[in-house]
Chains A and B, each alone.
Chain A
Amino acid sequence: QLQLQESGSGLVKPSQTLSLTCDVSGGSISSGGYSWSWIRQPPGKGLEWTGYIYQSGTTYYDPSFKTRVTISVDRSKNQFSLKLTSVTAADTAVYYCARLVGSYMDYWGPGILVTVSS
């Protein structure tokens, strides 16, 4: 059974960089041709697609993040990562990692709350 687990700092100061990692267990991140995605959910609000990375390494980022976001894969550690620069309070959210199978996400991590505050 595939499992995903987010980790990283739960508190980030404004203007700094948010860094999260998603550890994948129960399967190889390099097999199956899957893509790997980050989704976030501000408190009391809906889901927002941050972006994803294809098996090839090509990335897609939601235009609302412009050049602030980077998603990468570390195959040696079986994990993928999210970096979001110049954060503001609007970036406070629960961040989820998920496996993207074609057009849908079948496995999700439990989520990690990241608060942006001084």
Chain B
Amino acid sequence: QSALTQPASVSGSPGQSITISCAGTSSDVGTYNLVSWYQQHPGKAPKLMIYEVSKRPSGVSNRFSGSKSGNTASLTISGLQAEDEADYYCCSYAGRVFGGGTKLTVL
């Protein structure tokens, strides 16, 4: 299975909103609502931020939201804060595959 495609990097200023895309295929992202997103700070384990495309685990800020259109899932972070600076990975359970990761820089 092929890795999901994410932009290598995105950036935004505090208070702004950014969106990270995750492109899959009709065999995984496009057909199944089984996309999850993980945040990873340097030297730390990944943390679940979004599951099943748009559901937010307890304790995760409502500034984080997920959506899907066709074969592409997206993670949106609104009201950017300095602590949001991290790597973000999407994951498709249907394809048993992660995206390549996106480095978010808060300017």
A residues engaging B (CB < 8 A)? 39, 46-49, 60, 62-63, 96, 102-106, 108-111
Interface residues contributed by chain B, number (CB under 8 Å):
23
Nearest residue (CB) in B for A110 is: B45
State how many angstroms separate the Cβ of A108 from the closest Cβ of chain B: 4
| Structural contact, A49 and B97, CB atoms closer than 8 A | yes
| Structural contact, A46 and B101, CB atoms closer than 8 A | yes
Residue B36 is within 8 A (CB to CB) of chain A in the complex = yes
Residues of chain A within 8 A of B34, CB atoms compared: 102-104
Residues of chain A within 8 A of B101, CB atoms compared: 46-47
The answer to whether A47 and B47 touch (CB under 8 A), given A103-B36, A104-B93, is no
Residue B48 is within 8 A (CB to CB) of chain A in the complex = yes
Residue B46 is within 8 A (CB to CB) of chain A in the complex = yes
- Give the complex CA separation of A109 and B38 in angstroms: 14
* Residues 23-58 (chain B) with a chain A CB within 8 angstroms: 34, 36, 38, 44-48, 51-52, 57
| Structural contact, A106 and B52, CB atoms closer than 8 A | no
| Structural contact, A48 and B48, CB atoms closer than 8 A | no
Nearest residue (CB) in A for B36 is: A104
Give the number of A-B contacts (CB < 8 Å): 54
B residues engaging A (CB < 8 A)? 1, 3, 34, 36, 38, 44-48, 51-52, 57, 89, 91, 93-94, 96-101
Which of A39, A60, A103 neighbours the largest number of chain B CB atoms within 10 Å of its CB? A103
Nearest residue (CB) in A for B35 is: A103
Nearest residue (CB) in A for B102 is: A46
| Structural contact, A46 and B98, CB atoms closer than 8 A | yes
Residues of chain A within 8 A of B47, CB atoms compared: 108
Residues of chain A within 8 A of B52, CB atoms compared: 103-104
| Structural contact, B98 and A96, CB atoms closer than 8 A | no
| Structural contact, A47 and B93, CB atoms closer than 8 A | no
